[in-house]
Amino acid sequence: MIVTNYDGRKITKVINNFDRVLLDAPCTGLGIISKDQSIKANKVLMDIRKHSHLQKELLAAAIDCTKKDGIIVYSTCSVSPLENEEVVNYALKRRHVKLVDIEVDIGEPGYTKYIDKRYHPDTARTRRIFPHVHNMDGFYVAKFVKIANGAKVVEEK
């Protein structure tokens, strides 16, 4: 294990070739409202969007600094699809990774669609923990395997 104090978005310039990376991403904390009521009063949609953008950058860097066949686990304590499936979908489109089963029985499958959004079908392999259903803090987790180095070429529509 290596402990550092670097900006995670820039870690690939310092160190890479990890076997495993755990990205417990900074988030809005929407899954822990029952513990901190101020979240409900203080968070707005722009906060969620800013966190989602940062999470995408951090996840891309986590993937980039992992070696081929390495494992990347992405997690948040948010229940927002913008901070969860949206971020995972971004990584699936832009990096050579695949989602694998989490291998835990608790929680619900991740969303493959939400309102007008459609996500990669494999987002169902991720797990969502809901406070009102599972009697614990809200949580999200996804497990990736890196299948090749580099970024994918993405054509924007």
Strand partners, 140: 76, 128
Q: What CA–CA distance (Å, rounded) separates 17 from 78?
A: 29
Cα(82)–Cα(105) distance, integer angstroms: 24
Q: How many Å apart are CA 61 and CA 54, to the nearest integer?
A: 11
Active site residue 65: no
**Residue (of 126, 27, 114, 130) closest to 76 by Cα position:** 27
Which phi and psi angles does 132 have, rounded to 5°? -75, -15
| C-beta of residue 75 within 8 angstroms of C-beta of residue 25 | yes
Closest Cα partner for 78 from 12, 38, 29?
29
| Active-site position among 30, 32, 60, 77 | 77
Q: Determine which helix (DSSP H) or strand (DSSP E) holds 100, and give its type and residue range.
A: strand 95-100
Residues that are catalytic? 77
